[in-house]
Each structure stands twice: as structure tokens, then as C-alpha cells.
Chains A and B, each alone.
Chain A
Amino acid sequence: KNEVEQSPQNLTAQEGEFITINCSYSVGISALHWLQQHPGGGIVSLFMLSSGKKKHGRLIATINIQEKHSSLHITASHPRDSAVYICAVKPAAGNKLTFGGGTRVLVKP
């Protein structure tokens, strides 16, 4: 079993729909990161969370430390949100990130 599991693996939505991506992990962490990667592109850090909730534009990230679970929400989705979204956790000790397998999101106009 991977230490970081994401669901779903693939998601297709119509423009304007609300999207939720889930991330579950099995180790103690100091922080959880949500990353975005456009096709053929680099990796951009969206959020770093250690508790609670963060919002940036149409993106909202939440984390529940007790349940070892995080969600990334995209409100009013747009075709430019089409990308792979990756969850990564930083362990309680050390700097090494462990990555989930990613969720491929396609938003159709």
C-alpha cells in the first residue's frame, strides 16, 4: 500500500462544475503539499498545509490531521484548470517528500 493515496485517478468535469480531489496518507507529517502540473509542463506548488484550510482564488485546500486526509476543491472549474494535481507529504522528521500518484483533471468547455 502506498503511503500517499489519491482519488480519483482521473476526473472529467464540465466547465463551471465543483471538483474535489482527495488525498489520504498513512504517516505522521509536518506538512502536506498540493501541486499542479499542466501537460508537458513544470510543477507548481499550489498550497502547503499543516492544519485547517487555505484558499487561493477558486482553489480551496483542507486537511484533517487526525483522519490523515486532505481535499483539494476547485470551484467554478474552467478548462485552464485541466492538469494533473499531485498531493505530497513531508514527514514529521526530515525533508523528503512522498508523492501521491496524481489526479488527472479534464475540464470540458
Chain B
Amino acid sequence: NAGVTQTPKFQVLKTGQSMTLQCAQDMNHEYMSWYRQDPGMGLRLIHYSVGAGITDQGEVPNGYNVSRSTTEDFPLRLLSAAPSQTSVYFCASSYKSIGYGYTFGSGTRLTVV
């Protein structure tokens, strides 16, 4: 089924560990983005990409890296996990042109202890 696939769904990390959250879409969307959702804070943009080879920072980029080597994949890397990065992470994609909606992944619940 076409859509945005996020893995893993759940993850527990120890402080200082690194990991990569995977996001893949099969709709040929140019735009992909990562958000984190925290209680009382709403969704906040971490990083985004408007096409392969192009990435930019969002509202809360510190502690996260991204790359976009293909149109399909947009992984989010935590270099040295901190308890403040405990959150639910969502990946979303869209066509760049106006008039198109967004498709969200099912989320990754990350706990850093």
C-alpha cells in the first residue's frame, strides 16, 4: 500500500546511544519532514527536505541529523541520545506543489533513559 513507512514503532535507548529512525515513502513526494510531538507542545518541525540532496533545519534541529540521498528515504539520526529527546516522532511527506495534502507515518515512540 502506498504511504509513509516509519520504523521502528517503539525504541528505548540509553543516554549517549545513537540510533536512526527510518522513514520511507513510495509516492514520489518531493517534500519530506520530521516532527516531534510532546505533551502540551503540539507538533514541532525538526528537519525537512524538498528533494534528494537538499535538507534544512526546522524549529528544533539540535541533536538530530538528516540526509536525503534518494527521493524515497529520509532517515533521522540521533547522534547521542538525551532524555530530552524522549518523544513521539512523525515523518510526513507531500508533493512540493500547492494543492496537495500531507501523508503521515504511524509514528515512532522513543524513550531515552
Q: A residues near B, CB below 8 A?
A: 30-31, 33, 35, 41-45, 48, 50, 86, 88, 90, 95-97, 99-102
Number of interface residues of B (CB under 8 A): 25
Residues 18-40 of chain B, each 1 if its beta carbon lies under 8 Å from chain A, else 0 = 00000000000001010000001
Complex contact A42–B45 (CB within 8 A): no
CB neighbours of B50 from chain A (8 A): 95
A65 shortest CB reach to chain B, Å: 14
Complex contact A33–B48 (CB within 8 A): no
- Nearest residue (CB) in A for B104 is A43
9 pairs of residues in contact across A and B, judged by CB atoms under 8 Å: A33-B102, A42-B104, A50-B98, A86-B43, A88-B43, A95-B48, A95-B94, A101-B42, A102-B42
Q: What is the CA–CA distance of A31 and B61 in the complex, to the nearest angstrom? A: 25
Complex contact B42–A99 (CB within 8 A): yes
Q: A43-B90, A95-B96 are in contact. Are A48 and B45 (CB under 8 A)?
A: no
Instruction: Name the contact of B58 in the complex, choosing from A41, A90, A96, A102 (C-beta under 8 A).
Output: A96
Complex contact A99–B43 (CB within 8 A): yes
- Nearest residue (CB) in B for A30 is B98
